[in-house]
Amino acid sequence: MTQSHAYKDTSLELTAKILDAKARKKLSFEDVTEGTGLGLAYVTAALLGQHPLPEAAAKVIGKKLDLDADSVARLQIIPLRGGLDGVPTDPTIYRFYEMIQIYGTTLKALVHEQFGDGIISAINFKLNMKKVEDPEGGHRAVITLDGKFLPLRPF
């Protein structure tokens, strides 16, 4: 039977336990994701309390992190998603917030001009990030947000 959380704080304890085990074992999110059959961004989000994991993936991760059966079962519960209240203070998260503050209206205008009235789904969604060399020195982060367009349907 599918279960669902009603409050965010129930996931925080599990997330802390997972991050502690990951650090203690010196594993990357990529290491933990390997063998689950799922994408890196999805598994990372799940371990941070934003998605449920299928049973098989939860068991793979549970074994890698030495999680007890209760924690493995809790990884499969649909969470209360979202974790930011107000303007973020973490510099990395704030920069994403800043990007949306600056380019959010641009993205909205271009989506509506090219697709019509509707939204880009965050449910039927794919996220990818890769590190690439910057020709001017250093590195760049290439982030791909791939969401299905869902048109507004008048009723």
Which class for 20: exposed (0-12), middle (13-18), buried (19 or more C-beta within 10 A)?
exposed
Contact 64, 27 (CB under 8 A): yes
The sign one gets for the Cα dihedral 7, 10, 16, 21 is: negative
Helical spans, DSSP H, in 25-151 = 29-33, 40-47, 55-65, 69-74, 91-115
Write down how long the chain is: 155
Contact 77, 5 (CB under 8 A): yes
Q: Which residues are catalytic?
A: 95, 98, 121
